[in-house]
Amino acid sequence: MGNTGGLELAGDFHATRKQSVRACESLELEDYGLQAAVFTSPPKWHLAHTSWFFETFLLKPFASGYEVFHPAYEVLFNSYYNAVGQQFPRAQRGLLSRPGVARVLAYREHVDNAMSRLLAEGKHPQRELINQHCRLGIEHEKQHQELFYTDIKYSFSVNPLNPALQASVAPESAHTTQMQWHEFSGGFFELGFDSGNSTFAYDNESPAHKVFIEPFSLANRLVTNGEFQAFIDDGGYSNPAYWLADGWALVQEQKWSRPMYWRGGKADPAEFTLYGLQPRLASQPVCHLSGYEADAYANWANARLPTEAEWEFAARQQSFSDKKALALHPQAAAPVKSTQTLLQLYDSCWQWTASAYRAYPGFRVHEGAIGEYNGKFMSNQWVLRGGSCVTSAGHLRPSYRNFFYPEDRWQFSGIRLAKSL
């Protein structure tokens, strides 16, 4: 983890904390408690849990004389840290009508004020560790800002009124650039966190290590709604030849026949978005696909999903900036000349890879409860790379390893195709 201190760290802390509250400004009071499925959390819980993180991993161990806001919050807002103690059942977070929104915001203010005092203690004997934990807390909150959007989208989607988080929609092109294939020579390269590109990385991005890649090619953009419609029209959801066994079993069990938020028919294609129900444009990237659907489409298209090593190898050869404007829906790849070989790496949809989420060679879990952040989830999940339209600015880099179960669909996840040469 990187080590940033002083005014810059304090500035990042307060900016991130304010952004979490700002993201909720368009919510109705009743929206703060919504939890439509076990894999989602209510907005109010996200606001409280991110405060719990700073209280648990910084204020309690490092702030002299700190008084907890409420002793029961240690259990209520603990997500999965077994070393900290018990957790309130995840599936029942939506039942927590108390504390109310005002009380949660008071909790955030209490934590923010205490953190300001702690960060101002320049000669604290644990200054380096405080800075490291604070940086992790900031990045953790940015992850929850993204989860806020994906969770509230799902919770809104079950409402027949099709509520919108934001009323207006940015102008959208009905055209996209033609799909092209770009070849990469492969060879040996160092996979993993490159400190030259970022001041921070999660522990699962390290240690960097040498890998060998055979020559391959990647599509210049993501698969579109129109292209995925062709897969559906060709019987993609009814042909087991394209599917992994677990994916095919899920298709049968869940009766999947199209992506998660598609609505309407071929005559009136629509899509539920954070702008409410909108016309589904063929040019936009298809998103909210499971890993199984992404893999099946790739098989149908006579291609495959890239490995995470291939994705990072190619991404490192593109110009990169961790600055981006937040959007609430992925946009089409503009049909204009670009210096970038690969488009939509970070600003549209997370891209499923064919790689299992496992530890890199030499990985070691950090000591204590904070070591549970990533390491214990390295089982039965797939790696996604890149970023999405709702990923926080400053939270992007070529080495970032996102991970979800291959059946998960509620994230902004899409497809970039690969081929072996």
Q: What is the CATH number of the domain that holds 237?
A: 3.90.1580.10
Which amino acid, 200? F
| Number of domains making up the chain | 2
Residues 143 and 257 in one domain: no
Which residues neighbour 353 within 8 Å (Cβ) at sequence distance 6 or greater?
305, 306, 307, 308, 310, 311, 382, 383, 384, 385
Do residues 216 and 184 make contact, with C-beta atoms less than 8 angstroms apart? yes
In this structure, is residue 261 part of a structural domain?
yes
Last residue of a domain, one of 92, 125, 157: 157
What's the predicted TM-score (pTM) here?
A: 0.94
Residues 107 and 149 in one domain: yes
In this structure, is residue 270 part of a structural domain?
yes
In this structure, is residue 210 part of a structural domain?
yes
In this structure, is residue 174 part of a structural domain?
no
**Residue 351 tokens, joined:** 């891209």
In this structure, is residue 175 part of a structural domain?
no
Residues 114 and 187 in one domain: no
Residues 336 and 202 in one domain: yes
Residues 188 and 92 in one domain: no
Residues 20 and 137 in one domain: yes
Residues 244 and 314 in one domain: yes
Residues 130 and 72 in one domain: yes
Do residues 186 and 218 make contact, with C-beta atoms less than 8 angstroms apart? no
In this structure, is residue 313 part of a structural domain?
yes
In this structure, is residue 170 part of a structural domain?
no
Residues 19 and 58 in one domain: yes
Residues 102 and 34 in one domain: yes
In this structure, is residue 169 part of a structural domain?
no
Residue 41 has φ and ψ, to the nearest 5°, of: -130, 150
Local confidence pLDDT in tens for the 421 residues of the chain: 443 457 889 999 999 999 999 999 999 999 999 999 999 999 999 999 999 999 999 999 999 999 999 999 999 999 988 888 899 999 999 999 999 999 999 999 999 999 999 999 878 899 999 999 999 999 999 999 999 999 999 999 999 999 999 987 756 667 889 999 999 999 999 999 976 656 788 999 999 999 999 999 999 999 999 999 999 999 999 999 999 999 999 999 999 999 999 999 989 999 999 999 999 999 999 999 999 999 999 999 999 999 999 999 999 999 877 777 789 999 999 866 666 689 999 999 999 999 999 999 999 887 766 776 777 888 899 999 999 999 987 888 999 999 999 999 999 999 999 999 9
Residues 356 and 258 in one domain: yes
- Structural domain containing residue 47: 6-157
